[in-house]
Amino acid sequence: MDKIVLKGGTPLHGEVEVSGAKNAALPILASALLAEGTTTFRNVPDLADVKTMLAVLRTMGCEAERLTGKKADTCEISITGDITPEAPYDLVKTMRASILVLGPLVARFGRARVSMPGGCAIGARPIDQHLKGLKALGAEIHLTEGYVEARAKQLKGGMVNFDVITVTGTENVMMAAVLAKGRTVMENCAREPEVEELARVLNKMGAKVEGAGSSVITIEGVESLNPVDHAILPDRIEAGTLLVAAAISGGNVLVKHARPEHLDAVIDKLRESGCTITAEGGGLRCKAPRSLKSVNITTTEHPGFPTDMQAQLMALMTVSHGTSVISENIFENRFMHVPELHRLGADITIQGHTAVVKGVKGLSGAQVMATDLRASASLILAGLRAEGQTEVSRVYHLDRGYERLERKLRGLGADIRRVKERA
Ligand code: EPU
């Protein structure tokens, strides 16, 4: 098991590039199941979760590989022979997003057997809305032996009104509806840029999806889809994390490929805290102020403030002047970084789904433990500011969603390294 060891106190400077978006790559890799032939995706981040999705596709009989050398950002997926439309427990338990194969499998092969994802560290995370949507398209769904079994000779277009806004639920049902017979109207959809990106890929394949990025998506089913070649959009959460790295270290960093239109809510909060954020050279520059100000944050669905940036902004608030109230409205248990931030000297009180953060003068380095992906990023950010050495263990959480973060931060001047730890 690796750990990250860093010494705080160096203002970060320079330029850094954002990798492809994890949460776009996962559904997009699953969408390859919809077409016969070889699909090519570029700008695919090299992450543990992407490896898991490729493994899920391989267990079914697809060829799913990352290329090497100059093409190491490219994954090719081919469906040539027979497919076993099944995602086993051993893989799904390591990544809930494996459920994204359910929609494409039932649409294309008429049946699917996918292990039910359990809860995870940040919440219970049910999939009832995915199943509701597939049933509305005529799939018969049974839950047996911990598996979701879905069957439909031919899905039929239908009305889907989600009771809860769900990102992967919207994506799963969208991937099913593209091959359904007739028209599907999906209401109360997630509006995240990753949903829009998936629709872009599906339309390139020959699907007829309209309205992705808004809350109503309309899909005219088509008979078949073709393989495509597509480069995945940059990761807005990685970009946001790097902007916060500049802010918390008192630095000045250009985050290349960061797309301002995907980061409105994050940019607003960074500006409110005193940072100067400017669009520059196809990216965003963050210049930290002399002294950061506290801001309040409420997480909501896109285009609101993303839950995936809550832990990182909380790290920033621990050293900002004043008191910040942070409300988490998407997941019921996404404050696990708080006890670890306490170990670095932060003053945070949790009341239900709200955290009250009183800015302190300084943090001091300590040994801390990552508990989930974004929590691990927040601990590294706090470590960039802390006096002395911080050691973050259980960094396999970090590796699920950040491509070589420590190397990127080192390129900006941070004193940070990865150390192999004995299990
Ligand atoms: N929900 C239900 N029923 C459902 C689906 C969701 O009640 O059928 C609830 C969830 O329990 C949660 C809320 O709806 O309270 C939103 O969950 P959503 O389904 O939108 O989350 P997700 O699709 O499982 C994706 C991202 C997460 C991100 C959330 C919210 C992917 C692969 N994952 O998860 O990313 O936090 O949307 O924006 O796209 C991360 O990258 O760190 C991460 C956790």
Q: Give residue-wise pLDDT tens across range 189-201.
A: 999 999 999 999 9
Residue 121's pLDDT is: 77
125 annotated as belonging to a binding site for a ligand: yes
Let me know if 109 is exposed, middle or buried by CB neighbors in 10 A (0-12, 13-18, 19+): middle
Cβ neighbours for 184, distance < 8 A, ≥ 6 positions apart: 137, 157, 158, 159, 160, 173, 177, 218, 219, 221
Sheet with strand 229-231: strands edge to edge: 63-66, 75-79, 37-42, 229-231
Residue 205 clears pLDDT 70, i.e. is over it: yes
Question: What's the count of helices (H) and strands (E) in the chain, helices before strands?
Answer: 14, 24
Q: What is the mean pLDDT of the segment spanning 65-75? A: 97
Closest C-alpha to ligand 1, atom 31: 23
The enclosing H or E element of 141 equals strand 140-144
Ligand 1 atom at shortest distance from the alpha carbon of 96: 24
CA–centroid distance, residue 302 to ligand 1 (Å): 12
**Which residue, 231, 230, 190, is CA-closest to 212?**
190
| Across 291-310, average pLDDT | 98
Specify whether 75 is catalytic.
no
- For the CA of 166, the closest atom of ligand 1 is 20
Closest CA to 361 of 380, 347, 350, 349: 347
The answer to whether residue 333 scores a pLDDT higher than 90 is: no
- Which residue's CA is minimally distant from atom 19 of ligand 1? 166
pLDDT at 119 over 80: no
Q: How far apart are CA 266 and CA 412, in angstroms?
A: 21
Is residue 372 a known part of a binding site? no
Whether residue 120 has pLDDT greater than 80: no
Residue ranges around ligand 1 (CB below 6 Å)? 23, 26, 97, 123-130, 164, 166-169, 190, 307-308, 330-331, 373-374, 401
- Sequence length of the chain is 423
pLDDT of 44 higher than 70: yes
State yes or no: pLDDT of 422 exceeds 80.
Answer: no
What pLDDT is stored for residue 291 in this prediction?
96
Query: Is there a binding annotation on residue 96?
Result: yes
Query: Is the per-residue pLDDT at 113 higher than 80?
Result: yes
| Confidence category of residue 81, pLDDT binned at 50, 70, 90 | confident
Mean pLDDT along residues 64-76: 97
Rounded distance between C-alpha atoms, residue 286 and residue 8, angstroms: 19
What average pLDDT does range 260-279 have in this prediction? 98
Indicate which residue's Cα is closest to atom 11 of ligand 1.
125
Query: Which of the following is catalytic: 120, 189, 275, 286?
Result: 120
pLDDT band at 122 (very low <50, low <70, confident <90, very high): confident
CA distance linking residue 281 with residue 288, whole number of Å: 19
**What is the model's pTM?**
0.97
Whether the Cβ atoms of residue 198 and residue 175 lie closer than 8 Å to each other: yes
Residue 351: helix, strand or coil by DSSP?
A: strand
Inform me whether the pLDDT recorded for 222 exceeds 80: yes
| Angle value at C-alpha 175, between 124 and 182, nearest 5 degrees | 125
CB 230 within 8 A of CB 25: no
pLDDT band (50, 70, 90) for residue 80: confident
pLDDT digits (tens, 9 = 90+) for 337-391: 999 999 999 999 999 999 999 999 999 999 999 999 999 999 999 999 999 999 9
Atom of ligand 1 nearest to the CA of 401: 41
Looking at residue 423, its pLDDT comes to: 60
Give the least confident one: 182-186, 266-270, 291-295, 418-422.
Answer: 418-422
pLDDT (average), residues 115-123: 79
Centre of ligand 1 to C-alpha 392, Å, is 25
Quote the pLDDT of residue 281: 87
pLDDT at 124: 73
Which whole number is the average pLDDT over 302-312? 98
Residue 385's pLDDT is what? 98
What is the residue with the minimal CA distance to atom 28 of ligand 1? 308
**128 appears as a binding residue in the annotation:** yes
What confidence tens digit (pLDDT) does each residue in 406-417 have?
A: 999 999 999 999
Q: Which atom of ligand 1 is nearest to the CA of 27?
A: 32
Could you give the CA distance from residue 405 to residue 69 in angstroms, rounded to a whole number?
Answer: 20
Residue 70 per-residue DSSP state: G
